[in-house]
Amino acid sequence: MAVSPKGSRSAHHRKKQPEQVRRALLDCAAQIAAEDGAAAITIQAVATRAGVTKGGLLHHFDSKQALLAAVFSDLLDKMDQEIDRTLADDPVARGRFTRAYVRTCFSDRLLGERSLWAALSVAIVSEPALRSLWSAWLDDRMARHAETDGDPRLVAVRLAADGVWLADMMEKAGGLKRYPQDFEAVLLAMAEA
pLDDT tens column, 105-147:
888 776 655 566 666 776 777 788 888 999 999 999 999 999 9
Q: Is 10 within a domain? A: no
pLDDT at 193: 72
Phi, psi of 9 (to 5 degrees): -70, 150
Domain count, the chain: 1
- CATH number for position 153: 1.10.357.10
Residue 95 lies in a domain: yes
- Give yes or no for a contact between 33 and 41, defined as CB atoms under 8 angstroms apart: yes
Domain that holds residue 38: 18-192
- Asked whether residue 183 is assigned to any structural domain, the reply reads yes
> Looking at the domain assignment, is residue 145 inside a domain?
yes
Assess if residue 122 is contained within a domain: yes
| pLDDT tens-digit map of 171-188 | 766 666 777 888 899 999
Does residue 56 contact residue 21 with C-beta atoms inside 8 Å? yes
CA–CA dist 137, 170 (Å, integer): 23
Neighbours of 61 (CB within 10 A): 20
pLDDT at 110: 65
Q: Is residue 3 part of a domain?
A: no
The answer to whether residues 45 and 25 touch, using CB atoms and an 8 Å cutoff, is no
**CA distances, 31 to each of 14, 15, 84, 113 (Å):** 26, 26, 24, 12
Question: pTM of this prediction?
Answer: 0.79
